[in-house]
Amino acid sequence: MPTGDPPLTLADLREIPLERLKGVGPALEKRLADMELHNVLDLLQHYPRRWVDRTKKIDIADLAVGEEATVFAEVRTIHGRRTRQGRALVEAVVHDGSSMLTITFFNQAWREKQLSVGTEASFFGKLDVYRGKRQMTNPVVDVVGRAGVADEKTGVIVPVYPQSGKAEVFTWQLRALVSDALAKCRARGFADPLDEAILDRDDLVDRNTALRAIHRPESMGELGAAKNRLIFDEFLRMQVGLVARKRAFEAEESGIRHKVDGPLVDAFIAGLPFELTGDQQHSLDEITRDLAGPAPMHRLLQGDVGSGKTVVALAALLVAVQGGYQGAFMAPTEVLAEQHHLGSLRLLEGLTVPAEGSLLADRPVGVALLTNRTTAAERRRIAAGLDAGEIDILVGTHALLYGDAKFSRLGLAVVDEQHRFGVEQRSLLRGKGDQPDVLVMTATPIPRTAAMLVYGDLDKSELRELPPGRTPIQTTLVDPSPLAHAAAWDALRAEVAAGHQAYVVCPLVEDRGRVEAKAATAEYERLQAEELHDLRVGLLHGQMPSKEKEAVMRAYRAGELDVLVATTVIEVGVDVPNATVMVVEDADRFGLSQLHQLRGRVGRGGDRSYCFLFADPSTEDGQLRLDAMAASTDGFALAEKDLEIRGSGEVFGERQSGFSDLKLGRIPRDEETVMQARRVAEEILDGDPDLGSHAQLRDEVHDLLGDAVDFLFKS
């Protein structure tokens, strides 16, 4: 490549096909494509999963029996055979210049092909002695040098890449390809989107150094600096997009300036049978300030289970109503939408607004419910009520987005359990009115750093206090023994005898690609015949017709059922204050936040409540989740623990585009880097709001978040 050409951007690297690299023909190109490696950018961002530091290796001669260690050696001999029991046995002899070592593999016949004579590899395992020979059995193996293939030695640190046995692409091939790519890019180098002043102040190496050193480090210190820079880049791209979107929202002047000093909200709060907690009042003050401003509100209200988010949401909706606007209250499931509808009717009872066309007459605040099971006649009535302005608050599922809900003056949209909805759906809801304000709610607390990534474009309010009168829930881990189970069922029966109610939750069972409620149905039938034979037991799961689900929930709320056997359809929002016992079967099969949500279905009245977790965990993570549940009832603390146990990939899932960009970054490990990236993103956008002087960074952000940020950087 001519040296007069400008440095290579990430977009340039994406345009270079892998066929330009030495040794990549059609067959290897196809195998690389199977690994999602299509161009030089993909290859250079296929970072090593670990690095073997030859200076830190232990010589075979120095290994002690029983010691676990990594040795770096060359295969001298290898052969496979079958044992008398028919098991595959492969034995290799390796040498590292200090001594020989026997490597034995059971039931891994493919090792004979992988470790041909002359292959260099690292072997991690425990040294033992068998029939007088020092050996490792079934060690962890990384092939770093292929027999007969000339390979560039990289000093003392050897990268080990994620490889694919299925695609037959191995780390030694990837090392060679990366070496060729770096060599071909050397003349032009890699363009850096950041100013030298930022790099110097934040102690970041330039991208040219980082991309070379992540693959070919000359020291562990250089490797650490390279990783720091590339992790920073991953978070910076996300933060620039989120900060820009937040500022674009704030800059909009087309929002509704709501009338916040009306009598309706005051009457609502005065009529509540309890006082607002400090957190509720503070959050409502923040929401009210947003509603009074010229820019549309985009706020996240996150609170622990039972912290009173619905009351805050209704107060916010009444701010819109008292100014002549309508509100939408959207929930992810019919059960939760129906719960919100019933709760709204109860809490808003007796509140009135001026009747349209009359100076003196009042009418009750109009609340309606729209779900997929709403009849055609009821839909027509709702449509007429919305058009006439007689329905003030419409509660519903995602049917509000796609159905015939045509608001005449939508002023505020409340979206409950936002993590179940995508950004597109949130935009659709906003499109139902003239830039309505948006309040997003979640009862699944999100760790602070994670919230900066998932909801970085929203302002945030938190409810950590529980309303007065809530009693702590006693959580018990129930071991698999019959005696322990019997004691838990006795405790449940005692609570029912005292006039209370209980839940029994079963996990869904997946069968032949379909999710079925067999577990709940089977347990319902068993409990009716055995432990709970003389109690009134109901069944609720997601596959039941809507009318049946509604009838069961109505009976349970009315106290006509003692025990409700259910799947996670009751996970969020179901509020029956008389329920004091929650039994979760196979609790180790649930996530930590899900367990916390289920536990939150009890303890909602003033009576002491109990949660029994039936489990026999087969994994360390399962045990960690159960131990955390028993140790804490703080949803925010459990959210941090959940992130620690599961990692960001599983916790975030598909909540927000851009998380696939986290190849090196990890939450919560990299919390400081997230904060650093946020600060730098804000600083850059302060001085260059449309990134006119940071074209490369703008392109990288656009490439990451796509059309979602098209509107952010228009001059």
Domain CATH number, residue 89: 2.40.50.140
Q: Is the pLDDT of residue 366 over 80?
A: yes
**pLDDT computed for residue 147 by the predictor:** 63
Residues 505 and 447 in one domain: no
**pLDDT computed for residue 371 by the predictor:** 87
**pLDDT computed for residue 678 by the predictor:** 93
Q: Is the pLDDT of residue 420 over 50?
A: no
Q: In this structure, what token pair is assigned to residue 249?
A: 């929202």
Write down the mean pLDDT value for the chain.
85
Of 168-182, 394-408, 670-684, give the lowest mean pLDDT range.
394-408
Residues contacting residue 406 through CB under 8 Å, at least 6 positions apart: 383, 386, 387, 432
CB 70 within 8 A of CB 51: no
| Max avg pLDDT among 146-160, 181-195, 460-474 | 181-195
Mean pLDDT of 416-428: 58
pLDDT tens for each residue of 576-631: 889 999 999 999 888 888 899 899 899 888 789 999 999 988 788 889 999 999 99
**pLDDT computed for residue 193 by the predictor:** 96
**pLDDT computed for residue 536 by the predictor:** 97
Residues 426 and 456 in one domain: yes
**pLDDT computed for residue 3 by the predictor:** 55
CB 260 within 8 A of CB 301: no
Confidence of residue 658 (pLDDT cuts 50, 70, 90): very low
Domain CATH number, residue 549: 3.40.50.300
| Residue corresponding to tokens 């549309």 | 296
Residues 70 and 136 in one domain: yes
Residues 457 and 557 in one domain: no
Residues 501 and 439 in one domain: no
Q: Is the pLDDT of residue 368 over 90?
A: yes
Q: Which residues pair with 300 in a beta bridge?
A: 440, 460
Phi then psi dihedrals of residue 355, to 5 deg: -75, 140
Residues contacting residue 375 through CB under 8 Å, at least 6 positions apart: none
**pLDDT computed for residue 712 by the predictor:** 59
State the sign of the Cα–Cα–Cα–Cα dihedral 193, 703, 162, 179: negative
Burial pattern 90-110, b for ≥16 Cβ within 10 A else e, equals: bbbbbebeeeebbbbbeeeee
Q: In this structure, what token pair is assigned to residue 533?
A: 């034979």
Cα separation, 668 vs 448, in Å, equals 9
Q: In this structure, what token pair is assigned to residue 689?
A: 């709001």
Q: SS3 letters for 194-206?
A: CCHHHHHHCCCCC
**pLDDT computed for residue 160 by the predictor:** 85
**pLDDT computed for residue 531 by the predictor:** 94
639 found inside a domain: no
Q: Which residue has the higher pLDDT, 506 or 705?
A: 506
Of the candidates 367, 326, 321, which has an alpha carbon nearest to the alpha carbon of residue 344?
367
Cα separation, 633 vs 609, in Å, equals 12
Q: Give the containing element (helix H, strand E) for 73.
A: strand 68-82
DSSP string, 291-343: HHSSSPPEEEEEE-TTS-HHHHHHHHHHHHHHTT-EEEEE-SSHHHHHHHHHH
609 found inside a domain: yes
Cα separation, 681 vs 513, in Å, equals 44
118 found inside a domain: yes
**pLDDT computed for residue 188 by the predictor:** 94
Of 211-220, 246-255, 258-267, 287-296, give the lowest mean pLDDT range.
246-255
pLDDT tens for each residue of 463-515: 988 777 777 799 999 988 999 999 999 999 999 999 999 999 998 754 444 44
Q: In this structure, what token pair is assigned to residue 273?
A: 């049978």
**pLDDT computed for residue 655 by the predictor:** 41
Confidence of residue 424 (pLDDT cuts 50, 70, 90): low
Cα separation, 368 vs 654, in Å, equals 32
Residues 560 and 443 in one domain: no
Residues contacting residue 687 through CB under 8 Å, at least 6 positions apart: none
Residues 302 and 323 in one domain: yes
Cα separation, 365 vs 492, in Å, equals 40
Cα 579 to Cα 603, 606, 666, distances in angstroms = 7, 11, 40
406 found inside a domain: yes
Chain-centroid distance of CA 283 in Å reads: 25
Confidence of residue 705 (pLDDT cuts 50, 70, 90): low
| Last residue in a domain, options 577, 600, 632 | 632
Cα separation, 323 vs 321, in Å, equals 5
pLDDT tens for each residue of 633-651: 888 888 888 877 766 544 3
CB 580 within 8 A of CB 608: yes
User: Which residue segment(s) compose the domain that 366 sits in?
Assistant: 263-463
Residues 450 and 550 in one domain: no
Chain-centroid distance of CA 556 in Å reads: 32
Residues 449 and 505 in one domain: no
165 found inside a domain: no
DSSP state of 276: P
Cα separation, 392 vs 317, in Å, equals 9
SS percent in the chain: helix, strand, coil, step 5: 40, 20, 40
Q: In this structure, what token pair is assigned to residue 352?
A: 């009135």
CB 96 within 8 A of CB 59: yes
Mean pLDDT of 387-403: 85
**pLDDT computed for residue 512 by the predictor:** 43
pLDDT tens for each residue of 52-89: 776 667 889 999 999 888 888 999 999 999 988 889 99
Of 431-445, 552-566, 609-623, 692-706, give the lowest mean pLDDT range.
431-445
Q: Is the pLDDT of residue 402 over 80?
A: no
Q: Is the pLDDT of residue 430 over 80?
A: no
Q: In this structure, what token pair is assigned to residue 381?
A: 């009535």
32 found inside a domain: no
Mean pLDDT of 409-438: 69
Q: What is the largest CA-CA distance in the chain?
A: 103
CB 458 within 8 A of CB 418: no
Q: Give the containing element (helix H, strand E) for 631.
A: helix 620-631
Confidence of residue 433 (pLDDT cuts 50, 70, 90): low
Q: Is the pLDDT of residue 2 over 50?
A: no
- The letter for the amino acid at 69 is A
Burial class (CB in 10 A: 0-12, 13-18, 19+), 265: buried
Mean pLDDT of 377-406: 86
Helical pair 309-322 and 278-292, crossing angle rounded to 10 deg: 30
**pLDDT computed for residue 40 by the predictor:** 96
Helices (H) and strands (E) in the chain, counts: 25, 25
End-to-end C-alpha distance for the chain, whole angstroms: 35
Cα 529 to Cα 522, 525, 563, distances in angstroms = 11, 6, 14
337 found inside a domain: yes
Confidence of residue 165 (pLDDT cuts 50, 70, 90): low
Distant-in-sequence contacts of 86-94, Cβ < 8 A, 24+ apart: 94/60, 94/121, 94/123
Domain count, the chain: 3
pLDDT tens for each residue of 84-125: 888 999 999 999 989 999 999 999 998 998 898 999 888 888
CB 347 within 8 A of CB 311: yes
Residues contacting residue 570 through CB under 8 Å, at least 6 positions apart: 335, 503, 505, 540, 564, 598, 601
| Last residue in a domain, options 440, 463, 486 | 463
286 found inside a domain: yes
Residues 428 and 281 in one domain: yes
Q: Which residue has the higher pLDDT, 186 or 336?
A: 186
**pLDDT computed for residue 296 by the predictor:** 82
| Last residue in a domain, options 632, 660, 692 | 632
Confidence of residue 392 (pLDDT cuts 50, 70, 90): very high
Residues 481 and 430 in one domain: no
Chain-centroid distance of CA 430 in Å reads: 24
Residues 551 and 429 in one domain: no
